[in-house]
Structure 1
Amino acid sequence: MDFTTRPDIRGTFGVVSTTHWIASSAGMAMLERGGNAFDAAAAAGFVLQIVEPHLNGPGGDLPAIFVRPGEQPQVLCAQGPAPAAATIEAYRAAGLTEVPGSGLLASVVPGAFDGWMLMLRDFGNLPLDVVLDPAIFYAEQGHPALPRLSNTVAELADFFRKEWPSSAEVWMPGGKVPAPHAIFRNEALARTWRRLLRETEGARSREARIEAARSVFYRGFIAESVDTLMRGELMDSSGQRNKGLLTAADMAGWQAHYEPTVSGGYNGWTIHKTGPWGQGPVLLQALNILRHTRIEEAPINSAEFVHLAAEALKLAFADRDTFYGDPDFSHIPLDVLLSDDYARRRATLIGETASLEQRPGDLAGLGHLAERAAERATAGSLSVGGIGTGEPTMAHLTLKEGDTVHIDVADRWGNVVSATPSGGWLQSSPVVPGLGFPMNSRAQMFWLEEGLPSSLRPRSRPRTTLSPSLAIHEDGRILSVGTPGGDQQDQWQLVFFLQLLRGEQSLQKILDTPVFHSTHVQASFAPRSFSPGGLSVEETLGAEVIAELKRRGHDVSVTPAWSGGRLTCAERRPDGQLLAAATPRMMQAYAVGR
C-alpha cells in the first residue's frame, strides 16, 4: 500500500497518541503547560476513564513501560492482586468451578490509581490538581457519548435496573440510556475527584499531595466505600448473587511498584515487555521462533507471511497458557522460553499446513503442566458459552467482557511512555455507590485448579493480557506502541513489529496495513473458549491470500476492512524529531503533536 489514511504526526515539542481524540488532546495540554510525558500520560489516562468507561476505569489496572534519558527502561506494575480471602476453596464453597466473569467475586485490588500516582510522584512535573483537571471537566461538563458506550449501556439497561441500581444511576441518568453522541456526564465521579483534592489540599509539597491522594484512595473514603459494596450480595454471571472478597484491608496493604523489563534483540531493535504476569513475553517468543523460519523472504501479508506468523503465535500462546503466571508465586522458566535454542526447536514444529493442536513446550519437570493445558483447551473448544449460560440474562452478561485503552507519549526531553490501562468496565461490575465508578473483574483470569502458575492464590497477580511495548534501536530511536484487544494485543503488535524490523519508516503506513490474529489460543476471559485452527483476517488481505490460507487448513473467519486492531504509537528519533500515529479503525484513536 503506497498511501496512508493519515500522515505521520511530526514535531520536536511533544506527541501524544491514544485511543480517543479527547484524551490525546488532554495529554497534549499537559505538555503545553510545561508538563512532561509522565504528566501527559496520566492526564490522558484519567480522561480515558471518563470518555471510554466501557473500556477502563479508576477501579481497573495499569501496566506501563517507560524510559528516561540515559536510563534503562522500567515497567510500572499497577496490577492489583487477589484479595487475602480469595482461595480456591472459597469459590468452590459458593458452588463455582470458574471465577465469574463479572460481579463482586471477580474483583482484585484496583491498581490504576496508585500506578498513575506513583508515576506522577517520581517523574512528573505538574501538580495533581492540574493533571486531574481535564478528567474532572469532562465528568462535570460532559463529553459526546461514543456509540459503543451507548450500545453497551442499552444492552444491559434492564439488568442494571433490576440487579445493579447503582450502575443504572450513573450510566442511565434520569432512567434513560445515553443516545449516541449526546452529552454524557459522570458527576458522581467528578465529586469523588473533587473530594480527594479537598482532602489533600493542605499537603506541603507536590509530592506530599500525591502521597496523600494515594492514602485517601486506598485507606480513606474510597476504600471504605468499596469495602461496603463488597459486603452486599449482587448478581453476577454465575447466575447467582454473591458477596465480594475484596476488603479495605486488601487495598491498604498494596502499592504499585517498578520492576525490570523482559527484553529481546531483533535486527538492531531491543523490544521491552512486562514479565509473565502479563502476556508480553509472548511477543518475544513469537519473534524468536520466526527468526528460525523463512518469514523474511515472504512479502508482508502474503499467505506465507500470515501462515508463519500465525503458527509461531500458536506455539508462543500455548506456552503462555501453560507456563505464565505471577513469578512471585511460581517459577516461570523465562530463561528457557526466551532462549534461542528453545526457539529453534519450536520453529521445527511449523509445517506447511495449520496445526490444530495445543502444543506447549516440552520442558523438563513441567510435562504435567503441558498435559493439563491441553485438557483445558479441549474443554474450551467444546464450550458453547461458559458459566451462566443457562439463564439468558446471565449468559449475555458473561459475554460482555470489556476491552482496553492505550497511551503513547514522547516529549522534548527524551521521556517516552507506553501505557495500557484496562479493567473497571461498566458492563462487568456494579458502580460503587457514591463514587461513580465500578470495580474490575480481573480475577476471572485465574484458574480454580491447584498447582498451575495461573491458579488462584491469595495476594497473587492474575496473568493478564495487558501488554504495552517499548523498543529501542541501536541508532538511538525509541518507540512506544500498544493496543487494546485482550488476547489479540501481542498478535497485532507482532504484525506491527515484523514490518518495523524490515525497515519500514512510516508508522502510519504500518498501522494501516491489514491485520490478522489467531483464535487458536485459550481465551483469557470467561467463558475461556478455544478455537482449534481459528484465524481471523481482515478482508483487505485479498481473496487469493484468504483462499490459500484456507487451503493450508486454517479455519478462516473474514472480518470487514478496518475492523481489527486499535494500535497507537509514538517515536523519538536521535535528531530530536518526534513522530506519532494512530489507527483509523473505529475512528476514535488520534495522534497529536507539534
Structure 2
Amino acid sequence: MPGFTTRPQLVGDFGMVASTHWLASAAGMSVLERGGNAFDAAVAAGFTLQVVEPHLNGPGGEVPVILRAAGGRPRVLCGQGVSPAAATMDAFAGMDRIPGSGVLAATVPGSFDAWMLLLRDHGTMTVRQVLDHAIGLAERGYPVLERIALAIETLTPVFARHWTGSAAVYLPHGAAPAAGSRLRNPALAATYRRIITEAEAVGPDREAQIEAARRAWSQGFVAEAVAAFLSSPVPDGAGVPQRALLSAQDMADWQAHYEDTVSVSYGDHTVHKTGPWGQGPTMLQQFRLAEALGTGHDVLDGVSAEFVHRVTESAKLAFADREAWYGDPLRTDVPLKELLSADYAARRAALVDDSTASLDQRPGRIGDRLPFLPPEYLPGRAPGDRTTGEPTVGDAAGATPADLRGDTCHLDVVDAAGNMVSATPSGGWLSSSPVIPELGFPLGTRAQMFWLDAASPNALEPRKRPRTTLSPTLVTRSDGEAVLAIGTPGGDQQDQWTFTALLRVLNGVDDLQEALDTPMFHTNAFPSSFHPRETVPGDLAVEPGVGEDTIGDLRARGHRVQVAQPWSLGRLAAVARDPESGELRAAADARGSQGYAAGR
C-alpha cells in the first residue's frame, strides 16, 4: 500500500521525540523545550515510560541504548544487568527451564544506572530535572490504558492472594482500575524523591549529584530495601515460596557500561546494533541475506508474496543462528565476524527456496564448530497462542503471571545539534514478581532467557548477561553522521518488524510514517525467548492489509499463515535527521493507539 499513512510525518528543525506512549514523548519534548539535549530528553522519557507503561517495563528492568553524540561515533550503553553470583545450574536443579515469573528469575536491575550514566556523560540536566515528569505522574496519577486494565484484571487473583505489595499499588480500593481511570504509585514517587534528596545533599555539582544517585540505588537505600524484601522466601504467582538468588552485593558490584556497536553497511548507510547479548545482530544478518537475495528490489511495491516469503525465510535462518551462537560475548565465544560476513550470507541464502516454506530449524555451521540446537522444543501449540510479542491474557479466574507475558517500550530522540539516541526499555513489569512495598516496583525476570543447558552459548552462569530480545537501532551515513533511530516493542518480533520498516526507508521511502504504517508480518518458527520457549514450525503471522492474494500465495508455498487482527503487529517509533539541511523528522506507529511523536 505505497503512499498510505495513518498520520502525518512530523517535520521540523528543533527537536523530535518518538515513543510508545504520548506522555513519554511529551516529557521528552518538554525537556528539549527547557534547553535540554537529546540525551536529557531520552532519560526523562525513559523514566516516564516506567510509570505510564508498568505492564511493559519498570525500574526493576533493563535498557539497551544506542547513541551518537554530535561529532562522535555511535556507542552502545549496556543497561542489561547480569545474573546473580548465586545463579548456578545447581540452583535450578530439577527444572528444565527457568520460570517466567517470580523472584527466582531476577537479574540485577540495570535501567536506573544506565539512564544516570547517559545523563552524566552526555546530558546537561540534573537528577531532579529528568525525574520531574515521572514523579508528577506517579503522584498525581496517569491514565489507565485498556491493556493495563486488562493485565491487572487478569492478575487480580494473584495480587489479592499472594502479592500484597502489588495489590497496594494496582488494586486501589480492592479492585482492578477501569480503563480510562487514573492510577497512582506514591511509593515509586517517594523512592525517586528520596534519590533526589540524597543526590542534592552532596552539593550543587551536577555530576556529583548523579554519582550520589547511582550510589543510593546500587549501594544505598534501594539495594537495602531489595535485600530486605528478599531475605525471606517470596511467593510466586501460584503462591509457592521462592528463595531469591539476587543480593545487595550483586547490585553493588554491577555498573552500566559503554561498548562499541556491531554494524554492517547497506548501500550508503551503516546499521548499528548491540552485541550478541541482545538479538540485534539478527537484523544485520537479515540485511546481509537481503543483499544476497535481492530482497530490497521489490520492497517499494507493497507487500508482495515474494517479498514476505523471502524476508520470512531469511528471518528463520537468522533466528536459528541466534539460538545456536548468540550469548554474552564476555563469557562465550560468539563467531560474529563470520555470521555477518558476505560469504556466510551467500551460503545461507542458497537455502532459501522461493517456492517452499521451510519447517525446520537450520542454524549454520561455522568452520569446524557445530551449532547449538536446543534438544527439545514445544511444537504443536495453536498458532494463535503466539501471535505477537504483546502480553497474552488467559482466563482471569485462574491466570498466573506466566499467562501474561510482559513486553517492552521504545523511544527515539534527535535534537538540532545532531545528537541522536535509540533505547528499548523493558523488564520489571507488573506481572514479573511482587511489588516491593518500600520502593513501589517489582524486580524483573530476565534470567528466564538463559538455557539450563551447558552446551548453549546462552547457558546460565553467575554474573553473565542473558541474551535478550531488546533491540534499538541507529543508522549512520558513510561519513558517520547519524540519520535515523528506530525500534519497537515485541520480544522476538522486534528485529522482524523493524527490519521490514527500515528496509523500506533505506530503499527510498522518505516518509517515515508510511514506512511504519506498512502492513506487518513475522514468523514464530524458532524457539521463543520467553518461558516456556515454544516453537511454531512454519508459522507466519500477517496483518490482513497484506491482501488476500498475498495470503493465498503464501499458503500455497507452505506457510502456516495466521491472519492477525488489523493494526496489531508492532508499535514502531522513529526519528530522522538530514545532516545537510538540518531537517528533522519523526513518526510513531498508530498500532496500540498510544505511541506518538512530538517535535517542531
TM-score over 0.5 for the pair: yes
Q: 2:498 aligns with which of 490, 493, 498?
A: 493
Instruction: Show CA shifts across 1:56-82 (max 9, x none).
Output: 000000101000122110000010000
Aligned to 2:392: none
Which piece of structure 1 moves more, 168-177 or 454-463? 168-177
* Aligned-partner Cα distance in 1 for 2:40–2:17: 11
Query: Residues 439-588 of structure 1 correspond to what in structure 2 (within 5 A)?
Result: 439-474=443-478, 476=481, 478-574=483-579, 575-588=581-594
CA separation of 1:541 and 1:366: change in aligned 2, threshold 3 A? same
Q: What secondary structure, in the 3-state scheme, does the structure 2 residue paired with 1:362 have?
A: coil
CA contact (8 A) 1:238 1:394 kept: no
Matched, 1:291 2:280: no
Q: CA deviation at 1:296?
A: 3.3
CA deviation profile, 1:509-568 (whole Å, cap 9, x unmatched): 001110000111210001100010100000011100000000000000101211111000
Range moving further from structure 2, 324-333 or 231-240: 231-240
2:136 is the counterpart of 1:131: no
Change beyond 3 A, Cα 1:237–1:174: closer
Answer whether contact 1:163 1:234 (CA < 8 A) is retained. Answer: no
What amino acid does structure 2 have at the position aligned with 1:381? P
Residues 148, 31 of structure 1: alpha-carbon distance in 2 compared, 3 angstrom cutoff: same
Alignment of 1:141-290 (within 5 A): 141-204=140-203, 205-236=205-236, 240-290=240-290
Q: Whole-Å Cα distance in 1 between the matches of residues 593 and 397 of structure 2?
A: 31
- 1:195-250 deviation line (CA, Å, top 9, x unaligned): 11112212230000000000000111110111122222233368732111000000
Q: Structure 2: which 5+ runs fail to align? A: 387-394
Structure 1 pair 110–23 and aligned structure 2 pair: CA distance change class (3 A): same
Q: Percent identity among equivalent residues?
A: 51
Classify 1:307/1:128 alpha carbon distance in 2 versus 1 (closer, same or farther; 3 Å).
Answer: same
2:292 alignment partner, SS class: coil
The Cα offsets for residues 18-50 of structure 1, whole Å up to 9 and x where unpaired, read as 100011000000001110001000000111111
Amino acid at match of 2:582: G
Could you tell me which of 359, 369, 379 is aligned with 1:381?
A: 379
CA distance in 2, matches of 1:396, 1:81: 26
Aligned length: 583
- Whether contact under 8 Å (2:381, 2:536) holds in the other structure is no
| Equivalent residue letter for 2:337 | D
Output the CA distance in 2 between the equivalents of 1:381 and 1:234.
32
Determine which of 315, 318, 323 is the counterpart of 2:317: 315
Tell me which of 334, 337, 342 is aligned to 2:336.
334
Asked if structure 2 preserves the Cα contact closer than 8 Å seen for 1:499 and 1:510, the reply is yes
Q: Residue 63 of structure 1 aligns to a residue in which SS? A: strand
| Counterpart contact for 1:237–1:394, Cα < 8 Å | no
Q: For the aligned residues, what is the CA RMSD?
A: 1.7
Query: What is the match of residue 43 of structure 2?
Result: 42
Paired residue type of 2:461: R
* 1:360 is the counterpart of 2:358: no
- Distance in 2 between residues matched to 1:431 and 1:392, nearest whole Å: 20
Cα drift, residue 295 of structure 1: 2.0
Alpha-carbon distance between aligned partners in 1 of 2:101 and 2:573, rounded to the nearest angstrom: 28
Superimposed CA distance per residue, residues 158-202 of structure 1 (whole angstroms, 9 cap, x where no aligned partner): 111111111111111221211111111101101111111112212
Q: Distance in 2 between matches of 1:432 and 1:547?
A: 51
Distance apart, 1:156 and its partner CA: 0.6
Contact 1:189 1:435 in 2 (8 A): yes
Q: Which residue of 2 aligns with 1:406?
A: 410
The one-letter code matched in structure 1 to 2:314 is: A
CA distance in 2, matches of 1:435, 1:19: 25
Per the TM alignment, residue 144 of structure 1 is displaced from its structure 2 partner at its CA by 1.0
- Cα distance, 1:445 vs. partner? 0.2
Check conservation: 2:20, 2:573, Cα contact below 8 A: yes
The code of the aligned residue for 1:569 comes to A
Letter in 1 for 2:305: A
The TM-score normalised by the length of structure 2 is 0.95
Per-residue CA deviations over 1:252-276 (Å, capped at 9, x if unaligned) read 0000000000000011110000000
Alignment deviations for residues 416-453 of structure 1 (CA, whole Å, 9 cap, x no partner): 00000000000111101211001101000001111321
Could you tell me how far apart the structure 2 residues matched to 1:291 and 1:136 are? 47
- Check 1:394–1:530 CA distance in 2 against 1; reply closer, same or farther (3 A cut): farther
Take 2:414 and 2:396, find their aligned partners in 1: how far apart are those partners? 47
Quick check: 1:219–1:252 contact (8 Å CA) kept in 2?
Answer: yes
Partner Cα distance (2:424, 2:591) in 1? 18
Q: Distance in 2 between matches of 1:132 and 1:98?
A: 37
- Does 1:88 pair with 2:86? no
SS at match of 2:597: strand
One-letter amino acid of the counterpart of residue 177, structure 1: A
The CA distance in 2 between the partners of 1:511 and 1:196, in whole Å, is 38
- What residue number does 2:101 align with? 102
* Structure 1 residue runs without a partner (length 5+): none
Secondary structure of the residue aligned to 2:293 is: coil
Q: Distance in 2 between matches of 1:55 and 1:98?
A: 22
**Matches of 1:96 and 1:224 in 2, distance apart?**
30
Q: Which amino acid aligns with 1:44?
A: A
Which amino acid is the alignment partner of residue 540 of structure 1? G
Distance (Å, rounded) in 1 between the aligned partners of 2:229 and 2:369: 41
CA contact (8 A) 2:162 2:237 kept: no
